[in-house]
Amino acid sequence: MADVINSVNFARENGLLLSIRSGGHNAGGLGICDDGLVIDLSPVKYTRVDPAAPTVTVGGGCTWGDVDHATHVFGMATPSGIVSTTGVGGLTLGGGVGHLTRKCGLSIDNLLSADVVLANGNFVKASADENSDLFWALRGGGGNFGVVTSFTFKLHPIDMIYGGPMLYELGEAADVMKWYRDFIPGAPDDLNGFFAFLTVPPAPPFPEHLHMKKMCGIVWAYAGSQEKAEETFKPIRAFKKPALDFVGPLPQPALQSMFDALYPPGLQWYWRANFVNELSDDAIEQNIRFGEKLPTMHSTMHMYPVDGAASRVAKNDTAWDYRDAKWAQVIVGVDPDPANKDKIVSWTKSYYDAVHPYSAGGAYVNFLMGDEGEERVKKTYGGNYERLAAIKKKYDPDNFFRVNQNIKPS
C-alpha cells in the first residue's frame, strides 16, 4: 500500500503520466505507458477466503487463476472471465464477463468492497456503505478513479462444471449460429455458452485431422447440479452432431484455464467490439463472411451471452449500462509476428465495419482499444456517462488517471 501511495504522489508531483498494470491482458496496452510511470501491481498477490460469509478478498495483483486456486478447495467460485492468467483488477473494473455470467452475473455484480488509492494519494475504502458513489463508479467505470489494491467478492457454491468446447464444420456455421441465437435466451441460467470462430491449434488434445482447420463452435459451461447436466445437454446434442465434442465434467478452474496455453504473453493483439441485442440472418451472414477469413491461427471472434442474471440488474445500479444487451461480441486479430500487424488490423476493422450496423451501439469497455475516441466511450456508458463524469470530477478532477478508456471530468 505504501509503495502505491508513494508512486501516485511522485507521479502527480512530477507531472508524469501514470499507468496501472495488473495482469497485463489489455489488448490496447493500457496497462503500460511510455515516458511515464507504471505501477505494476503483480507482486500484490494474496487471497483470503471466508467460507462462512462466503467471500474472498484478493490483492490487486492477483490473476483469476490465483483466485480459483484459493476458492476451489472450498467448493466455491466467483464470476470471472475465460482465461485464468487475466488480472482480477482490469477485468473487474470493466465489468467482468465470463463462463458464470448467466448464472451469477458480472464480476462487478459480485463485488462487495474495494480498497482504493486516489489521485491525491489518499487511501479509502469503497462499498455500498462507504464512499458509495465511488463504489458505484468502480463497478464498470474502468481504471478512471484510482488504484484498486484489494477486492472483496461474494462467493457461490460452484465446484464442478459440465462444459468444454463443441466444434462444428465451418460450412455449418449458418445453422449453428441461428440455432444458438434462438436457444441461448431460453436456456436455464445455469447454462452458459459463448460462440466462436476459430482455427484448431496444431497440438493435443485436438485430433490431427482437425489441426489448423477453420471451424465454428460453442464453449459451454453448465454450473448447475451435475445430476441434471446430461439432461440439460440433450437438446444441444440433438440439434447437430459436432465434429468435436469435448464437453464433460471438470473442475471449474480447469475450464477457466483451458485456453491459457493458446494465448501466452507476447502476442500482438488488435480488437473491436459490440454489444448485440438481435442476431438477424443478415448479421449472421456478415459474421460468417469474416469468420471464413480468419487471418491467423490465434485470431477469433467470440460472442458472449450477457443475459440471465446479468440482465436482472438495473441499468443504473452499476456503471454498466447495457443490461438489456443479449451478447458482448469481440473481434480479435492476434499473431506473434510483427510482419502480420497490418493483416490482423485490416481484418478486424473490416469485420467490425460490416457488423457494427447490426449492433446495439456500445461495447464491453474491456474490449475497447485506446484509439476509438471519446464518443465511443460515451456510447458505451450510455445514460450512466454523465454520472461517471461527475464522480470523476470529485475524485480525479485533473484526470490524472487517463491511461484507460477515459472518462473526462465533467
pLDDT band at 307; cut points 50, 70, 90: very high
Going along the chain from its start, the domains and CATH numbers come out as: 160-367 (3.40.462.20)
Alpha helix (H) ranges present in 271-401? 281-291, 341-355, 374-381, 385-395
Number of H helices and E strands in the chain, helices first, is 12, 15
Alpha helix (H) ranges present in 240-299? 252-256, 281-291
What proportion of the chain, given as a percentage, has pLDDT over 90?
A: 94
Digit-coded pLDDT (tens) for 331-382: 999 999 999 999 999 999 999 999 999 999 899 999 999 888 899 999 999 9
The per-residue pLDDT for 315 is 97
Q: Report yes or no: 178 and 281 within 8 Å, Cβ to Cβ.
A: yes
The per-residue pLDDT for 183 is 98
Amino acid at 265: P
Q: What is the CB neighbour count within 10 angstroms for residue 325?
A: 24
The per-residue pLDDT for 241 is 97
pTM over the 0.85 mark: yes
Cα end-to-end span (Å), the chain: 29
Digit-coded pLDDT (tens) for 252-287: 999 999 999 999 988 999 999 999 999 999 999 999
Is the confidence at residue 247, as pLDDT, over 90?
Answer: yes
Residue from 110, 113, 134, 112 nearest 122 by CA: 134
The per-residue pLDDT for 25 is 84
The per-residue pLDDT for 372 is 87
The per-residue pLDDT for 27 is 80
The per-residue pLDDT for 359 is 97
What proportion of the chain, given as a percentage, has pLDDT over 70?
A: 100
Q: Which residue has the cell 466455491?
A: 76
pLDDT band at 216; cut points 50, 70, 90: very high
pLDDT band at 29; cut points 50, 70, 90: confident
Is the confidence at residue 172, as pLDDT, over 90?
Answer: yes
Residue from 310, 74, 62, 104 nearest 190 by CA: 104
Digit-coded pLDDT (tens) for 13-28: 999 999 999 988 888 8
What's the chain's average pLDDT?
Answer: 97
The per-residue pLDDT for 23 is 86
